[in-house]
Amino acid sequence: MLKSPLFGICVAVAALMCVGAQPTVARDGPGSDFSPITEWGNQISSDLEHNKRYLPGERTRGKIGTVRFELTMNRAGWVLPGTRIVTIDPELGRVALLLLQQSQPFPAPDNFNLRDATFRVVVPIRFNNVPSEGPTEVQGLDRRKLLECYQADREELDYQRRRAARLGLVPPNGISRTPEGCSEARRVESERHRRAGATAE
């Protein structure tokens, strides 16, 4: 079992059994506001999925499987000691820990009218294999890839603005990170335009 010195998070190596597709949330007190809890859990899952695309390719390449995040959360949206990351692959567990670190803080439960002090949130996240690096043609750095990068940039700016709003920060006007391959895709597109312009002249 691995343990993060930063968060006191255990990475448990174990087979995952009966992992559902939806996150589940348990609270430290009774209540009937199931829909807000479910909505909060879905937002946490959405944030993890969004940040997953920004993990370093060399860390995720060749990794495939489902990681079970068993999160203990406080009211500020931060993960507490006692959190577990369960996976059958220790290396994938380390990747999941990195994902958790770059995703915090999550939306505070105050935004969903939840009143308890701490919460237990279980979120399964699927990791898919990233193809090995190869020639430009094999990587598919074409117009479709470029459009995917533009879409990712729009989603990232929206994500960072929502994050800034809930943290009381100044909203950004641009992005500071892009998914792996997008910088190369833009370089290839720029070179293509340069060659086309030179030919026209």
Query: What average pLDDT does range 48-65 have in this prediction?
Result: 86
- Residue 70 DSSP code: E
DSSP state, 79? B
**How many other C-beta atoms are found inside a 10 Å radius of the C-beta of residue 87?**
25
Report CA dihedral (121, 84, 94, 148) to the nearest 10 degrees.
-10
Contacts of 82 (CB under 8 A, 6+ apart): 8, 72
Residue 44: both structure tokens together: 């946490």
Residue 80, judged by CB atoms within 10 A of its CB (0-12, 13-18, 19+), counts as middle
Give the model's confidence band at 194: pLDDT under 50 very low, under 70 low, under 90 confident, else very high: confident
Q: What is the pLDDT of residue 168?
A: 86
Percent with pLDDT over 90 in the chain: 24
pLDDT for residue 124 is more than 80: yes
Question: For 4-36, how does the pLDDT look when each residue is reduced to its tens digit (9 = 90+)?
Answer: 544 456 665 554 433 344 565 555 544 444 577
**CB 181, CB 58: distance < 8 Å:** no
CB atoms within 10 A of CB 150: 12
d(CA 106, CA 99): 12
pLDDT in tens, 78-88: 899 889 999 98
Candidates 126, 118, 117; CA nearest to 96 is: 126
Contact 100, 73 (CB under 8 A): no
Collapsing DSSP states into helix, strand and coil, what is residue 100?
helix
**Torsional sign, CA 45, 127, 83, 19:** positive
On the question of pLDDT at 139 being above 70, the answer is: no
Closest CA to 156 of 79, 77, 49, 76: 49
